């Protein structure tokens, strides 16, 4: 015999979420069925709210519950500079630094042929369209420093070059993370930080 079908169904749905394996999904389903029923009701309601209200910003594809996101509607921000990120969580992590007061472009993914994601599947066209009116002067790529991030950056660079606009294109520096230990840094990290060494 197995779990009651309602609990099994809930567990199966949890296990199709990222980073949740079969043991944890069973644990969550059981918890919500026995001791967490009031939490289960709240969670159900919250999921309905998200399905109903959340969409992508018409300008930058950040998640929002209005037509344009909080950043795009903030008139105090610098519209001449755009940071390109993979998803809204990267955007919020950058926002938490409090250092940056420009705009964003959320791609909603990275080019990844192995996963069947091509340039048309992410919001590169939206970025290129935003360049047409000449307001944007600098684009900063803040994509993960791996194969997919690098290929996506390269593709964006080629497309911007084709437009023949005077736009500065940069990417975040690669190097040793603050608070880490050189002893444990990978070879590639050390090579990156050596090649990008700055005067002291």
| Binding site residues, its own copies, CB under 8 A | 1-7, 9-10, 13-14, 16-20, 24, 26-34, 36-37, 39-51, 53-54, 56, 63-65, 70-71, 74, 87-89, 92, 95, 108
Closer residue to its own copies, CB minimum distance, 21 or 134: 21
Closer residue to its own copies, CB minimum distance, 46 or 158: 46
Closer residue to its own copies, CB minimum distance, 64 or 152: 64
| Shortest Cβ 12–its own copies spacing (Å) | 9
152 φ/ψ sector (left φ>0, alpha ψ -120 to 50, else beta): alpha
| Shortest Cβ 101–its own copies spacing (Å) | 11
Closer residue to its own copies, CB minimum distance, 70 or 161: 70
Which residue reads 């009031």 in tokens?
38
Is residue 93 a contact partner of residue 116, using CB atoms and an 8 Å limit? no
| Shortest Cβ 66–its own copies spacing (Å) | 8
Sign of CA dihedral 101, 105, 111, 115: positive
| Shortest Cβ 49–its own copies spacing (Å) | 5
Which residue reads 């991030």 in tokens?
149
For 65, residues 6+ apart whose C-beta sits below 8 A from its C-beta are 53, 54, 55
| Shortest Cβ 156–its own copies spacing (Å) | 21
Closer residue to its own copies, CB minimum distance, 43 or 147: 43
- Residue among 135, 129, 147, 6 at smallest CA distance from 61: 129
Is residue 72 a contact partner of residue 83, using CB atoms and an 8 Å limit? no
Closer residue to its own copies, CB minimum distance, 23 or 168: 23
Which residue reads 């002291």 in tokens?
200
Question: How far is Cα of residue 94 from the mean position of the Cα atoms in its chain?
Answer: 10
| Shortest Cβ 47–its own copies spacing (Å) | 4
Question: How far is Cα of residue 114 from the mean position of the Cα atoms in its chain?
Answer: 19
């Amino acid at each position: 015999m197995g779990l009651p079908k309602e609990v099994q169904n809930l567990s199966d749905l949890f296990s199709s979420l990222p980073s949740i394996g079969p043991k944890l999904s069973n644990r969550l389903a059981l918890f919500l069925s026995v001791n967490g029923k009031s939490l289960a009701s709240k969670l159900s309601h919250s999921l309905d709210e998200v399905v109903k209200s959340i969409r992508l910003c018409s300008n930058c594809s950040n998640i929002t519950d209005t037509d344009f996101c909080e950043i795009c509607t903030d008139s105090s921000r610098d519209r001449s500079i755009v940071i390109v990120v993979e998803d809204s969580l990267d955007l919020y992590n950058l926002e938490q630094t409090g250092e940056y007061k420009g705009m964003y472009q959320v791609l909603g993914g990275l080019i990844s042929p192995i996963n069947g994601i091509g340039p048309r599947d992410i919001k590169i066209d939206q970025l290129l369209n935003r360049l047409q009116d000449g307001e944007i002067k600098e684009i900063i790529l803040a994509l993960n420093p791996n194969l997919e991030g690098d290929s996506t950056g390269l593709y964006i660079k080629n497309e911007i070059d084709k437009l023949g606009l005077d736009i500065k294109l940069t990417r975040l520096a690669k190097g040793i993370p603050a608070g880490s230990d050189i002893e444990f840094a990978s070879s590639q990290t050390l090579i990156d930080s050596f090649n990008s060494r700055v005067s002291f």
